[in-house]
Amino acid sequence: MIGGCVVSSGRSNSDETMTTGAQAPKPRALVIRRHHPLVRISHWLTIPLLLGLILSGISIYWASPIYQHDPNPTTGSFDYFADAGIWICAHIPWLHQYADPANWVYNHASLGSYMLAFALRFHWFCAYLFMLNGLVYLAGLGIGGGWRSLLPRLSDARGVLQVARYYLTVPHATLARRQQIHPSFRTKYNPLQRLAYFAVAVAGFLTVATGWAIHKPAQLSWLTAIFGGFDQARLWHFWLMVFFMVFVIPHVALVVADGWDTLQSMITGWSTKFKRSDVSDHEP
Amino acid sequence: MSLKQNEAELRSPVRSALRKKFAGAFSERPIEPIEVEPSILRRWTRRDLLLFGAGALATFAVGGSQLPREVWQRLGLAQSGATGPENKWLLNKALRLDDDVSAALYSKHHLVPTYSKSQITPLKNNYNGATPDPAYIPAWRLTLEGLSSGLAVSLDIRALLAHQIRDQITRLVCVEGWSAIAWWSGLRFADLLHAYPPVSHAKWALIESSVNLDANGNPDPYFVSIDLLTAQHPQTLLATHLNGKPLTVEHGAPARLLVPMKLGLKNIKAITRITYTKDEPPDYWAKRGYSHYDGI
């Protein structure tokens, strides 16, 4: 697990051997500090907080869906999520007897239907912690200096396309048993990662801003106006949620594909994954 | 060599060094590997993995304790049929904090946005239960209590209309998420407070409607609490007209509260009594788990 980069300290071993006799040099692990503790804490807290916000958020959405159509003459439904629930219960044999098909989606993808008061309280609870967690994250980035690795640069554009092309073509190449080489970069994150992680941080900020715009459209009317008014701010808030959901899929898939070192570096902070050439270049 | 040339020569290397320093502040630092004894590294790893596990368990314990019984029942992890009040301490704290934030944000100098007549949207009858029988309207009176005079005052609609009537096109925002822009007319609550001043220590108004019904048509009096600061806001009206016409029974004839600084549920229809109090009065929806303050 930690053997990836075990090397001898490499400094004047021969001299030591001369003076201390036959003592072998102690093996040393060479690691890099990858994530500041505050970044790691806030990273993991984001999972339960986002989960709570999304589940309670869909319960709140249930009370007044933003995407509506004219009532269906047979079902009376005007909500696409209710339509989906009715369809699912009609087509899946063991769900034919489901008591409340129109709320099937809400009862399975949210805290539940008919619990607006509770969902609102739960949403505020998670939202205040989410904002606090965002500040912890920013503090960790600032103290640990990790923010420099996250800032996208204009010169990243080519690299973003290179990495995106690699991921788009790698499934086919693997099936065709053709070896595909991951473009290599000398930075902590590749340009696509940098863009993605930066976008998530921006989306977090926008989610908080649109949340306040919906929550206080009178007191913070200037903020609501920035997002194009109350109804538009609700749309923004909804689609930012979808963005987080979409981000999680490749994020988790690629961490799993990358292996244990990458995953544990977000828990323990250190990693043995780095190129020796990156090190030697910077030695005086 | 002139002095000017000398300066220019001196400045340019300084400037380029500054530029380099500035650009360097944003560029990534070279990685600095550290040498650690494997046994120490193993200890670190064990410690952090244990902390991670403990943190995850604690998070799910705290989060799970705040979920309602109904969610656990749906997941098959709690017995169905168990009922009774549930006290979610952390959630109540969060709601109180949010109300305090809302109250801190309030300023009577901050006006809510107003709209033009072309922006008016349909407004549905959102009586929580059944719509009352309009038979109450002819005999309707508004009772004021908790006045500095120590007397109760009973007003009819003409007494209200004797005040200056203001027009305003504002947005009514429902706690459910929908909203409607409507053209309201009525007297300012502040004018009523001026004409019939409350007792000096009053901080709240309990506003009641005795004509409200539940979904089955049985009496279900509605009541909201309003802090007097919000009541004094220039856009807080006792509305008597919608779209230039007297209120219909669906919209709270003959007078309702219009408080665009608060959620729609505070905009109580068909007001029959206003009582000024020192302590916070009860509120219909706060009793049902919603916020007390409902500022937006």
Contact between B68 and A118 using a beta-carbon 8 Å cutoff: yes
Q: Which residues does chain A have within 8 Å of residue B260's beta carbon, measured at their own beta carbons?
A: 218
Average pLDDT over residues A123-139: 98
Considering only A63-72, A151-160, A204-213, B71-80, which range has the smallest mean pLDDT? B71-80
Predicted ipTM of the assembly: 0.90
- Give the integer Cα–Cα distance in Å for A233 and A236: 5
Cα A113 from Cα A65, distance rounded (Å): 12
**Of A116, A188, A230, Cβ closest to residue B179:** A230
Task: Please check whether residue A176 is in contact with residue A77, taking contact to mean a CB–CB distance below 8 angstroms.
Answer: no
Question: For an interface test with B, which of A32, A36, A124 has the most B Cβ atoms less than 10 Å from its Cβ?
Answer: A124
Which of these ranges, A162-166, A178-182, B266-270, has the smallest mean pLDDT? Answer: A178-182
The answer to whether B295 contacts A282, with C-beta atoms less than 8 Å apart, is: no
Torsion of CA B67, B73, B79, B80, to 10 degrees: 120
Residues 6+ positions from A231 with CB-CB distance below 8 Å: A66, B179
Say if the Cβ atoms of B95 and A52 lie within 8 Å. no
Instruction: Name the average pLDDT for chain B.
Output: 92
Backbone φ and ψ of A245, nearest 5°: -60, -40
B136-185 confidence digits (pLDDT tens): 999 999 999 999 999 999 999 999 999 999 999 999 999 999 999 999 99
Torsion of CA B75, B76, B81, B87, to 10 degrees: -50
Task: Count other C-beta atoms under 10 Å from residue A7's C-beta.
Answer: 12
Taking the CA of residue B225 and the nearest CA in chain A, the distance in Å comes to 17
Question: B184: which 2 tokens?
Answer: 């309201």
User: Is the predicted pLDDT of residue A7 greater than 60, yes or no?
Assistant: no
Considering only residues 57 to 76 of chain B, which have any Cβ-Cβ distance to chain A shorter than 8 Å?
59-60, 63, 66-68, 70-71, 74
Strand B166-173 to A6-7 pairing: unpaired
Q: pTM of the prediction?
A: 0.89
What's the start-to-end Cα distance of chain A, in Å?
31
Contact criterion met (CB < 8 Å) for B35 and A2: no
Q: What is the pLDDT of residue A284?
A: 37
| Domains in chain B: ranges and CATH | 38-82 (no CATH), 92-288 (3.90.420.10)
Cβ <8 Å between B35 and A9: yes
Hey, are the CB atoms on A148 and B60 less than 8 Å from each other? no
Predicted confidence (pLDDT) at residue A249 exceeds the cutoff of 90: yes
CA distance B264 to B291: 12
Q: Are A150 and A197 in contact (CB under 8 A)?
A: yes
Query: Average pLDDT over chain A, rounded to whole?
Result: 88
Question: What is the token pair recorded at A230?
Answer: 């109350």
Q: Across the interface, do A29 and B36 touch by the CB < 8 Å criterion?
A: yes
Alpha-carbon gap, residue B267 to B246, rounded angstroms: 17
Contact residues, chain A, for B56 at CB < 8 Å: 44
Measured between beta carbons, the chain B residues lying within 8 angstroms of A5 are 33
